[in-house]
Homo-oligomer: A and B are copies of this chain.
Amino acid sequence: MAGVSRKASKTGAANATTADLVAVLVAVTDGEPKIMTIANAGALPSGPFEFAHRSLQTGLRAWVEAQTGHPLGYVEQLYTFADRGRAGDAKSPHSISISYLGLTREDKVGHGFEAHWSGWYEYFPWEDQRSGLPATLAKTLASRLRAWSKSAATASLQRERWQRVAITFGLDEREWNEELVLQRYELLYEAGLVPEAVRDGASAAAVIPGRPMSGDHRRILATGIARLRAKIKYRPVVFELMPSEFTLLQLQRSVEALAGRLVHKQNFRRLIEQQQLVEETGAIAADTVGRPAKLFRFRHGVLAERAVVGTKLPLSRT
């Protein structure tokens, strides 16, 4: 084992690869989650990894700022992929994509840049469960997935497939789990129901709605959405997507947009207030219908005060 390690550093040239950074840049505008896209909304922004920065993180930050003309709020690494498409070709140098999740606001993008923002549910229509799925989409999905299950060789494999479908898509009385974005996409890919699968060699089955992307980008996007949906539950990252002042309903709408689900209004407020995440600005929202709401701002102090992580272990206090 030690030998392997030493060999690795000696033969550096032999394992040369190309590395790219891929960014999932998210904003929420008018209660809709958006992502920055290029190539006519068919790809995520990406660039070569050729920075002289201390870390990948600052490299991405610098690159995005150079491209968009505006600083990036929250950044976190997502995942490192070996491109699925080119992997079959064992002779070519491997291509690695290091993906990042970044949170900003749409209005922060400077002018003169050719960035586009696309609603993320264009790529994953089934992920928006805020008002249930459109009946036609729900039916299409269910029937195609059932057909795929049935196409397995043995009865037990068929049952296995359907159980997986039911869990990831919340069928058969099961609950919808909004965090399983990646699992759902990968299942659809496996079932040959997305254009990328057909492109990569699957038999051209009937494809379901949802705009494809080039390369692995839709998979990377799914990873980003899943991560963000998990993160908003235990870290106050939504505020990176909000204007400096907002009403509690606006905040709620943003969370709902990201989660793809509706939340209980009063309980949502209780949650926010008891965690002391926000403070009143004193101002009142203007030009609204109904009773005017108080404006709040994020209490940046909480980030310094707390290191919020939830415990599920029955820790002993003694």
A230 interfacial by beta-carbon distance below 8 Å: yes
Do A14 and B77 contact each other (CB < 8 Å), given the known contacts A55-B82, A234-B312, A314-B267?
no
Q: Which residue of B lies closest to A314 (CB)?
A: B267
Q: Which of A43-51, A119-127, A134-142, A190-198 contacts B (4 or more CB under 8 A)?
A: A43-51
> Given that A1-B114, A19-B15, A177-B307 are known contacts, is A87 also in contact with B312, CB under 8 Å in the complex?
no
Binds B, one of A92-100, A145-153, A278-286, A287-295: A92-100
A6-27 vs B, Cβ < 8 Å mask (1 yes, 0 no) = 0110011011111110000000
By beta carbon, the residue of chain B nearest A232 is B313
* Complex partner residue of A262 from B54, B55, B59, B316, CB under 8 angstroms: B316
Residues of B within 8 A of A183 (CB): 307
Contact check: which of B18, B47, B54, B312 meets A84 at CB < 8 Å?
B54
Binary B-proximity of A46-79 (CB < 8 A = 1, otherwise 0) = 1111101111100100000001000000000101
Q: How far is the CB of A59 from chain B (nearest CB, A)?
A: 8
Q: Are B47 and A5 in contact (CB under 8 A)?
A: yes
Measured CA separation A52–B38 after assembly (Å): 30
Also in contact, A16 and B16, with CB within 8 A (given A177-B309, A263-B314): yes
Q: How far is the CA of A95 from the CA of B77 in the complex (A)?
A: 17
Main secondary structure of the interface of A (DSSP, over half): mixed
A211 within 8 A of B: no
Residue of B nearest to A160 (CB): B304
Given A180-B307, A313-B261, A316-B264: A17 touches B20 (CB 8 Å cut-off)? no
**A207 interface residue, CB < 8 Å from B?**
no
A264 / chain B contacts, CB cutoff of 8 Å: 314-316
A67 to B5, CA, bound (A): 11
Residues in B neighbouring A18, C-beta threshold 8 A: 12, 15-17
In whole angstroms, how far apart are the Cα atoms of A94 and B15 in the complex? 12
Q: Decide if B56 touches A263 in the complex (CB within 8 Å).
A: no
A43 and B5 contact, CB distance less than 8 A: yes
- Nearest-neighbor residue (CB-CB) of A50 within chain B: B15
Whether a CB of chain B sits under 8 angstroms from the CB of A233 is yes
Is A168's CB within 8 Å of the partner chain B?
yes
A20, A84, A314 — most chain B CB neighbours (10 Å): A314
Report if A5-B263 is in contact (Cβ < 8 Å); known contacts: A18-B12, A54-B84, A307-B167: no
Q: Which of B5, B20, B55, B80 contacts A87 (CB 8 A)?
A: B55
The 8 closest A-B pairs by CB, nearest first: A267-B314, A52-B90, A15-B48, A233-B312, A8-B48, A2-B38, A15-B50, A80-B80
Can you list 20 pairs linking A and B with CB atoms under 8 Å apart? A4-B47, A5-B39, A5-B43, A7-B48, A8-B48, A14-B48, A15-B50, A16-B17, A17-B17, A17-B18, A19-B96, A49-B94, A56-B80, A167-B307, A180-B307, A262-B316, A262-B318, A264-B315, A264-B316, A268-B313
